[in-house]
Structure formats: structure tokens, C-alpha cells
Amino acid sequence: MAALRDPGALTPLTLCPNGHAIDECSHCKVRALSVCSALDGDELEALDRLARHVAFDARATLFEQDEASEAVFNITGGSVRLYKLLPDGRRQIVGFALPGDFLGLSMSDRNAFSADALSAVSACQFPRQLFSDLLDEKPHLLRRLHTMASHELSLAQDQMVILGRRTAEEKVVAFLMGLRKRWSRIDGSTVHVPLPMTRQDIGDFLGLTVETVSRMLTKLAREKALVIVPDGVRLLDLPRLEALAEC
């Protein structure tokens, strides 16, 4: 069952075998990938006091488009689908969040998009106003957030190029190579690319039909550029795939 979305709730304590409370932030496996890497030990303790450590089942909703933005999430495990519902009822996927990503940092007081768990997800949930107050006190944390926001803007610009100027095959390959780069920061993998999202999700993100996505993956597999495995793909011909991704 998904955790209740109550940003004002107290942080549940995790206990080690001797009964002492564990400082969750200092033991976080994705700390180096997240904005939290800008903080020292005492500052991490202050951040941890704001956090509620939550979990969501696959397909559970973290937050919904246009609802009041009351919390900030740091994804520590699993993956999340980010999407907008258009006025005509269609869905546009705007991205996928992985461990280390922060969600809910928009300047608006309402969520610009919805977020659903693609797999079981763990996260640190912070009351938005208290997190904002902490940013005011920690300019180095704000600088780290600015760096991450600049990177996300760069990814968004790349996505515009992918949607507007590339063939279907180039779109799919660019998507896979982009995910490869992101996953490699987390688990060090160089050729295995997990795909927790569906073919339909990929199609909605790339502006392709699900049939086209499946056809492009089958074509790349037939040409031995990759092999499709149960949880994603394994890349075989990296030089060719890198060349296609850069077109």
C-alpha cells in the first residue's frame, strides 16, 4: 500500500540492532547523486529531521497535476513516471525520475505534472515550506539545486531535438543511451539498461506509437545492436548506437 501523502507527519525512526536511531541521510545510498551531497554531517542531521521516509507500491501516485504542491521528494529507490494530462484527455509523458532525483521543486504552488511509481519506490518526503526555509539558510545547497536544475534544462532541450529532428530509430536509440548514462551513475552498469517503463510509456515520451517503439527495438535486436532481456535491454554494438544517438 502506498504511504499516506502527509508532509506534516513526523519522521519514522529506523533502528539499528542495538536500538539506537540511524541517521538515514548519512546512510543514504544515493546521497552522492543528490543535492544532499552538498551538506556536511550536521547539516544532514538537520535535513533528516525534516524528512519522512516513505514507500510507494508500483502504480501508486506520489502526487497529481494541479493539486497543491505541499511536499518535495528525493527518490532513493525505484523509478517514477512524470506526465501531464492535456485538455483533450491525452497523456504526455515529460520524463522519468530515478534514484537521486528531486521532485516538487517548482516555483508554482501547484504541481505542474503528475508522478506515478513505475516500480516499488522509496523516497524522502520533505514539507515544501520547511525545505524552502532550509535552502534560505544553506546557500551551498541552493547552488547544488541550481546545478541540477541546469542539467534538467539541458535534458529538456535535448528532448526537444529528439522529438523534432530525428527518425523513429534515432529517437529510440537516443532514449536508450540517455537512460544508460543515468543508470550508470547509479549502479555503474555500462551495457545493461533497465526499462521499468512500458513500450507505451516510451512511445508517449518520444511521440511515437507503441507499435513503432516495438518495431524499432526488434529491428535493433535483429541487427545485433542490442538484445532484449526481461527487465530491459543489453547493448551490444555501442559504437553504432552512440553514432545514432548523436545524429
Q: Could you report the per-residue pLDDT of 104-163, keeping only the tens digit for each?
A: 877 678 898 999 999 999 998 989 888 878 777 777 666 666 565 555 556 555 656 656
Please determine, for residue 200, whether its predicted confidence score (pLDDT) is greater than 90: yes
Q: Selecting from 1.10.1040.10, 3.40.50.720, 1.10.10.10, 1.10.357.10, what CATH number does the domain 166-245 have?
A: 1.10.10.10
Q: Output the pLDDT for position 102.
A: 84
Q: Output the pLDDT for position 22.
A: 38
Q: CB-based contacts of 140: which residues, under 8 Å, 6+ apart?
A: 38, 39
Q: What's the Cα-to-Cα distance from 193 to each of 97, 181, 232, rounded to whole Å? A: 15, 9, 6
Query: Per CATH, the architecture of 25-152 is what?
Result: Sandwich (2.60)
Rounded to whole angstroms, the Cα distance separating 141 from 136 reads 9
Q: Output the pLDDT for position 147.
A: 61
Q: Output the pLDDT for position 1.
A: 37
Backbone φ and ψ for 126, nearest 5 degrees, come out as: -120, 135
- Residue with the bigger pLDDT between 25 and 90: it is 90
Q: Output the pLDDT for position 129.
A: 85
| Residues 184-192, mean pLDDT to the nearest whole number | 83
Beta carbons within 10 angstroms of residue 246's beta carbon: 10
Please determine, for residue 17, whether its predicted confidence score (pLDDT) is greater than 90: no
Closest by Cα among 123, 120, 125, 92 to 196: 120
Mean pLDDT of the chain: 80
Please determine, for residue 3, whether its predicted confidence score (pLDDT) is greater than 70: no
Q: Output the pLDDT for position 10.
A: 32
pLDDT bucket at 86, cuts 50 / 70 / 90: confident
Please determine, for residue 194, whether its predicted confidence score (pLDDT) is greater than 60: yes
